[in-house]
Amino acid sequence: MCSSFVCAAQNLMLDTEVPDTSIAVIGYFCKNDSMMFRKTYSKIKVEKGDTIVDDAYTEDFLIVVTDSTSTGYKMKLIPVAFDYSEESDSIHRIMQVKLSELSKDLVCEFTTDEIGRVQNIINWREIRDKMKVGIKGMCDTLYSTVPFLNDVMPRKQVENTLLLRFSTEQGVREAYNELNELFGLHGNIFDIGDSEIDTQANGYPMHVTASIGYNPIENEDNDFDGDYSILSYSVTTVPIEDMLDLGLGSMGLMMTDAISDSLANHRKEMLDSITAAMPDGNKNIKIINEEYYSYFFNGWPKECYNQKTSGYGLGERIETTHIEWTMCRWSLVIPQDEDQPSHNI
User: What's phi and psi for 98, nearest 5 deg?
Assistant: -65, -45
Residue 200 is assigned to a structural domain of this protein: yes
- What CA–CA distance (Å, rounded) separates 151 from 266? 19
pLDDT of residue 339: 44
- What CA–CA distance (Å, rounded) separates 229 from 293? 5
- What CA–CA distance (Å, rounded) separates 188 from 5? 9
pLDDT of residue 30: 93
Residue 61 is assigned to a structural domain of this protein: yes
Mean pLDDT in the chain?
83
Question: What's the distance, Cα to Cα, between the start and end of the chain in Å?
Answer: 28
- What CA–CA distance (Å, rounded) separates 245 from 315? 18
Number of structural domains in the chain: 1
Nearest to 128 by CA among 166, 94, 92: 166
Read off the pLDDT of residues 174-206 as tens digits, 9 standing for 90 and up. Answer: 989 999 999 999 999 999 999 999 998 888 899
Residue 81 is assigned to a structural domain of this protein: yes
Handedness of CA 79, 173, 150, 312 (dihedral sign): positive
pLDDT of residue 136: 87
Residue 337 is assigned to a structural domain of this protein: no
CATH of the domain at 162: 2.30.230
- What CA–CA distance (Å, rounded) separates 324 from 307? 14
320 strand-pairing partners: 42, 307
**Whether the predicted pLDDT of 256 surpasses 60:** no
Could you tell me if 99 and 134 are in contact, meaning their C-beta atoms sit under 8 angstroms apart?
yes
pLDDT of residue 274: 64
CB neighbours (10 Å) of residue 295?
25
Residue 44 is assigned to a structural domain of this protein: yes
**Mean per-residue pLDDT, 159-171:** 90
- Work out the pLDDT band at 50, boundaries 50, 70, 90: confident
**Whether the predicted pLDDT of 32 surpasses 90:** yes
Residue 333 is assigned to a structural domain of this protein: no
**Mean per-residue pLDDT, 54-79:** 94
Could you tell me if 188 and 12 are in contact, meaning their C-beta atoms sit under 8 angstroms apart?
yes
- What CA–CA distance (Å, rounded) separates 179 from 110? 9
Read off the pLDDT of residues 202-247 as tens digits, 9 standing for 90 and up. Answer: 888 999 999 999 999 998 888 999 999 999 999 998 887 777 656 5
pLDDT of residue 267: 59
Nearest to 303 by CA among 315, 294, 311: 294
Range of the domain at 74: 3-10+22-327
Read off the pLDDT of residues 94-116 as tens digits, 9 standing for 90 and up. Answer: 777 777 777 778 999 999 999 99
Residue 189 is assigned to a structural domain of this protein: yes
pLDDT of residue 83: 87
SS (H, E, C) the chain: CCHHHHCCCEECCCCCCCCCCEEECCCCCCCCCEEEEEEEEEEEEEECCEEEEEEEEEEEEEEEEEEEECCEEEEEEEEEEEEECCCCCHHHHHHHHHHHHHHCCCCEEEEEECCCCEEEECCHHHHHHHHHHHHHHHHHHHHHHCCCHHHHCCHHHHHHHHHHHCCCHHHHHHHCHHHHHHHCCCCEEEECEEEEEEEEECCEEEEEEEEEEECCCCCCCCCCCCCEEEEEEEEEEEEHHHHHHHHHHHHHCCCCHHHHHHHHHCHHHHHHHHHHHCHHHCCEEEEEEEEEEEECCCCCEEEEEEEEEEECCCCEEEEEEEEEEEEEEEECCCCCCCCCCEEEC
Read off the pLDDT of residues 290-301 as tens digits, 9 standing for 90 and up. Answer: 999 999 999 999
Residue 152 is assigned to a structural domain of this protein: yes
Task: Please return the burial class of 245, using the count of CB atoms within 10 Å of its CB with bins 0-12, 13-18 and 19+.
Answer: middle
pLDDT of residue 8: 56
**Mean per-residue pLDDT, 261-272:** 59
Report field, pTM of the whole predicted structure over 0.85? no
pLDDT of residue 49: 79
**Mean per-residue pLDDT, 153-168:** 87
**Mean per-residue pLDDT, 3-17:** 61
Read off the pLDDT of residues 317-334 as tens digits, 9 standing for 90 and up. Answer: 899 999 999 999 987 644
